[in-house]
Amino acid sequence: MRKSIILISLIVFSLTSFGQKNTLALLKYNGGGDWYANPTSLRNLINFCNKELGTNLSSDYATIDIGSSEIFLYPFCHLTGHGNVVFSDQEQKNLRNYLIGGGFLHIDDNYGLRKFIEPQMKKVFPELDFVEIPFTHPIYHQKFNFPNGLPKIHEHDGKPPKGYGLFWEGRLVCFFSYETDLGNGWEDEEVHNDPPQTRLKALQMGANLIQFVFMQ
């Protein structure tokens, strides 16, 4: 069964090369949390990547239920919010198959998400734990260089920004950005009134995520 899943996924992802028309997906989840937070962020990230990386991503990002088979059409999925997250058994299995089969999940803590999302991801991968990504990892050294890891976008609790990952058979399948709030930095300028340089760093780090996923 696992070989069939991987084969199907490889066929899908072989059609989504770096230069072809594609888009990103925002994951919709249950539990009451605001999965719809930062409504302008992915569009701005896509436009930035098209300009700076030469990608050909459609600005009309997709909104996908975690349990939907459509998730396999998107190499890069984004999940954000502040509140509660609940995955059903079917959603856990679907997300696991997606990530094992070649997909990638970026979880962006929009403040307060960690205590909800980590137990759910543990159900998806009982055998894995989030580990802090070292600053030497390629995800910080794509087109844009971040020698000290994630940039700090919003203060939240004043803690340093951290990047955590889940690795399946040596491949980074999930990147969790914590205490930074990249998505807020991707939003339209008037939403949070962040300084231009702060927004630029957020977009550059987001572009690194996209480049890493599409080129690995």
The rounded distance, in Å, linking the Cα atoms of 38 and 138 is: 26
Contact (CB, 8 A) for 101 and 5 = yes
Q: What is the pTM of this model?
A: 0.90
Output the domain CATH number for residue 147.
3.40.50.12140
How many structural domains compose the chain? 1
- If DSSP codes are grouped into helix, strand and coil, which group holds residue 112? coil
Backbone angles phi, psi at 165, to 5 degrees: -140, 155
- What one-character-per-residue DSSP string does 71-85 give? GGG-SEEEEEESS--
pLDDT tens for the 216 residues of the chain, in order: 444 444 344 434 434 444 445 899 999 999 999 999 899 999 999 999 999 999 999 989 999 999 999 999 999 999 999 889 999 999 999 999 999 999 999 999 988 899 999 999 999 999 999 999 999 999 999 999 999 999 999 776 778 999 999 999 999 999 999 999 899 999 988 886 789 999 999 999 999 999 999 987
Q: How many other C-beta atoms are found inside a 10 Å radius of the C-beta of residue 52?
A: 15
Domain containing residue 86: 2-215
